[in-house]
Amino acid sequence: MENIALIESFSEFKDDKSIDKPTLMAILEDVLRNALKKKYGEDDNFDIIVNPDKGDLEIWRNRVVVADGEVEDPNQEISLTEARKIEPDFEVGEDVSEEVKLIDLGRRSILSLRQNLISKVHEHDNTNIYKHFKELEGEIYTAEVHHIRHRAIILLDDEGNEIILPKDRQIPSDFFRKGENVRGIIESVELKGNKPAIIMSRTSPLFLEKLFEQEIPEVFDGLINVKKVVRIPGEKAKVAVDSYDDRIDPVGACVGMKGSRIHSIVRELGNENIDVINYTTNNQLLITRALSPAKITSLKIDEENKRAEVMLKPEEVSKAIGRGGHNIRLAGQLTGYEIDVFREGVEEDVELREFADEIDDWVIEEFAKIGLDTAKSILEQDVDDLVKRTDLEEETIRDVMRVLREEFEEENNS
């Protein structure tokens, strides 16, 4: 019974589906050989027999019989007298196999063997988990909320693997309770020490792309190709789609009748507004479609600097820019062009940066973030609406408008 601690450890793992018997036997033999090297200096002359079904093992030491008094290496050689204690008819020059009991290694070594076995098996499991999830990078995965922390949610899958959903990979409106299932993509897998760190994301554009594959049969079958996805998580997204079959309307197929097909995706993403547009290699047409729902009057492209000047009727400007500047920002990301918006029929306007002596740079920057970079573009806006769309106080906005009005009043009086 001296090897009970090690045998119990072996039994803990022998029925584990995550590790096959040959691998487990190899791990156990490796652990034992390390212990034998520590005890005897070498392990070349030892045979280790492992029975994975019963969970037991045998260790045999092989030595050569030499005449009494001529033993030079006690690990490799045995005297004739000692050999005949094992079997009385041994002669000099013959090989002797003698069973080594674990107790001969010492109680400390047995405990160390058990710890090393557990450590090696866990290390093997972690390597397999790492390889498994590395192959799943970029794929949708579902796991259950196990623990909610300030900076991350800890999820567990059906196999008990821990998956981390950091706060910055969650959609702003996400709210999960313990025990709830969460979908996201496996964004990255890294080995930290010997333990795999599996990171899930719900904010990645790839998550939206994979939801299209999962929810829209034509995308899954390859009849419709998702060319590019850009998004501001939880707010707005633009998806460019294309089809190699002229009989298929890619936008209609993705949206469905009255939005029926895309509804489940929108709901999964916290009611994120999703614009699906028809992809084209014609950059003018692509920019026009990307700025939807705004209708463009004219468009001029500077290919060298990747800029586009868009002319719109005054009532279309706010549609092109969108709430918080989301529409124009995403249109730029989707097309790869810096888009400048100009109002049709407005002859005299002044760049906001020309007022740098009277308006702080950071205030000008706040307006620029939502696509307002000229005096008249700001004066056309409602103060309450600007308070909601920027991080500026109402008083600051009114002061800016006063400065801008005075400029135009002076021009009109002169």
Tens digit of pLDDT for each residue in 302-339? 999 999 999 888 788 888 988 888 999 999 999 999 99
Shared fold status for 4-131 and 136-202:
no
CATH fold of the domain at 204-279: GMP Synthetase; Chain A, domain 3 (3.30.300)
pLDDT for residue 19: 61
Beta bridge partners of 225: 242
User: Does the pLDDT of residue 21 top 70, yes or no?
Assistant: no
Q: Chain-wide mean pLDDT for the chain?
A: 85
Determine the pLDDT at residue 106: 66
Let me know: does 202 contact 171? Beta carbons within 8 Å: yes
Helices (H), 169-296: 205-215, 217-220, 250-255, 263-268, 283-290
Cβ within 8 Å of residue 259, ≥6 positions away: 266
Structure tokens at 320: 């092109």
The rounded distance, in Å, linking the Cα atoms of 286 and 280 is 6
- Which CATH number is associated with domain 4-131? 3.30.1480.10
pLDDT tens string 72-131? 888 888 898 888 888 888 888 889 888 888 776 766 766 777 777 777 777 777 777 888
Close Cβ partners of 350 (under 8 Å, ≥ 6 residues apart): 374, 375, 376, 404, 407
Every domain of the chain and the residues it spans: 4-131, 136-202, 204-279, 352-413
pLDDT at 7: 52
- β-pairing, 77-79 vs 56-66, is parallel
Sign of torsion, CA 106 111 112 117?
Answer: positive
**Confidence band for 4, pLDDT divided at 50, 70 and 90:** very low
Which of 9-18, 175-184, 382-391 is least confident?
A: 9-18
pLDDT at 411 over 50: yes
CATH class in words for 136-202 = mainly beta
**Averaged over 268-288, what is the pLDDT?**
94
Distance from C-alpha of 66 to C-alpha of 73, rounded to nearest angstrom: 10
The separation between CA 305 and the C-alpha centre of its own chain, rounded to angstroms, equals 33
**Residue 357: pLDDT over 70:** yes
Side chain identity at 395, as an amino acid letter? E
Does 12 score more than 80 pLDDT? no
Torsion of CA 210, 212, 216, 220, to 10 degrees: -40
pLDDT of residue 410: 61
Question: Higher model confidence: residue 225 or residue 68?
Answer: 225
Q: What's the token pair of residue 266?
A: 């929108």
Taking 3-state DSSP, the helix, strand and coil percentages for the chain, each rounded to the nearest 5, stand at 45, 25, 30
In DSSP notation, 317-381 reads HHHHH-GGGHHHHHHHHHHT-EEEEEETT-----BGGGGTTTS-HHHHHHHHHTT--BHHHHHTS
Give the predicted TM-score (pTM) of the model. 0.63
**Which of the 8 DSSP states describes residue 152?**
E
How would you classify residue 98: left for phi > 0, otherwise alpha for psi between -120 and 50, otherwise beta? beta
Q: Give residue 180's pLDDT band: very low, low, confident or very high (50, 70, 90).
A: very high
Angle at alpha carbon of residue 344, lines to 342 and 350, rounded to 5°: 50
